[in-house]
Amino acid sequence: MTDPERAWVLHVDLDQFIAAVEVLRRPELAGKPVIVGGRGDPTERAVVSTASYEARAFGVGSGMPLRIAARKVPDAIILPVDAPAYTAVSEEVMATLRAQPGAVVQVLGWDEAFVGVTTDDPEAYARAIQAAVLERTRLHCSVGIGDTLVRAKNATDFGKPRGTFRLTAENWMAVMGEKPTAALWGVGSKISKRLAAHGIRTVADLADADEAVLAGEFGPKMGPWFRQLGRGDGSAVVDDTPWVARGHGRETTFQTDLVDRADIEQAARDLTAQVLEDVAAEGRPVIGVGLKVRYAPFTTKTLVHRIAETFDRDVVLAEILALVAKIEPDRPLRLLGVRAEMAMPDDAREGHTPTRGGW
């Protein structure tokens, strides 16, 4: 029996996307533990971009140092990241989603998107999406079905792999209530620890939390927003307005720690040159700069500075080098990142927060 026709939000998430693309290119890897990261060399400093389900069974996850992943799965096939290949396949997937009847598509990344649709049978529509994506790309996806963006995004976790799951106001608390707050989209480990300090450990706790307590901890806007997340509430509008980058950044992990100030400055100059090429292609002025530093063994600091609007490359470089001067002297540096924030175009959406591009 179908529902009355109404608006739904579907969250489409490609299963083990990067690993799946690699298996398509190398069918002999099917069923084997595949890890993708860096240049594919576990002796270098790099992290895991993705791992196949077979590798995940050994505890390998995204962001894990590649050398640790290699120790966990000694017989893993470790491959280098091939961003152009993943971008090309992703574009095929998104084109498939846009071709579905009545679909409004909001791209979130290489491997996921929201689809807004009005239908009386969202499960059937989700299965049609899965079949279309599989036919065009030979990739499997999971689809979360919801009445808000938050519920659809969280629903996908229950549909993986290759399935569908529906989360609405009716069953949200029954399904999510006893889950830890970190299970929510938008609540990471750091936020969950801050919530736990106030006795807020589960989704149900967060849904019933005192807004004054949350506002005191996270601010007058973010506090109530976290409570809204706990209830699964929020926008149900899928926005297909093209995403506009607020800035561009580049970073590099040094295979040998840098200590000498001249070496660090040269690395910053090289990264700045790359960032400014990206910025030039946008045709928008720079309004802020940032520096990301990771000291050995693994302490990360971020420095940011707003500047007067400028197109002058020398001014941007000087501002970044001023941040470099604040790096602690004689402390080994294992990673350096440079970022330039740009003015948004006149037609940018007020209050739009991008989901990609930041540190």
pLDDT in tens, 42-91: 999 899 999 999 999 999 999 999 999 999 999 999 999 999 999 999 99
User: How would CATH label the architecture of 1-168?
Assistant: 2-Layer Sandwich (3.30)
Of 3.40.190.10, 1.10.150.20, 1.10.10.970, 1.10.150.110, the CATH number of 172-231 is 1.10.150.20
Kindly report the average pLDDT of the chain as a whole number. 93
> Cα(122)–Cα(325) distance, rounded to whole angstroms?
56
Handedness of CA 126, 131, 137, 140 (dihedral sign): positive
Answer yes or no: are the C-beta atoms of 254 and 333 closer than 8 Å. Answer: yes
Please state the pTM of the whole predicted model: 0.80
Q: Where in the chain is the domain with CATH 3.30.70.270?
A: 1-168
Q: Is the pLDDT of residue 334 over 60?
A: yes
Positions marked active-site: 112
Q: Where in the chain is the domain with CATH 1.10.150.20?
A: 172-231
Residue with tokens 């040998």: 256
> Cα(301)–Cα(321) distance, rounded to whole angstroms?
16
pLDDT in tens, 229-281: 999 999 999 999 887 889 999 999 999 999 999 999 999 999 999 999 999 99
pLDDT in tens, 145-177: 999 999 999 999 999 999 999 999 999 999 999
Answer yes or no: are the C-beta atoms of 230 and 209 closer than 8 Å. Answer: yes
Q: Is the pLDDT of residue 357 over 50?
A: no
Q: Where in the chain is the domain with CATH 3.30.1490.100?
A: 247-342
Average pLDDT over residues 304-323: 96
Average pLDDT over residues 19-48: 94
pLDDT in tens, 90-119: 999 999 999 999 999 999 999 999 999 999
Q: In a 3-state reduction of DSSP, which class is residue 78?
A: strand
| Record: fold of 247-342 | Dna Ligase; domain 1 (3.30.1490)
Q: What pLDDT, on the 0 to 100 scale, is given for residue 298?
A: 85
Phi-psi region of 59 (alpha: psi -120 to 50; beta: other; left: phi over 0): left
Q: Bridge-partner residues for 181, per DSSP?
A: none
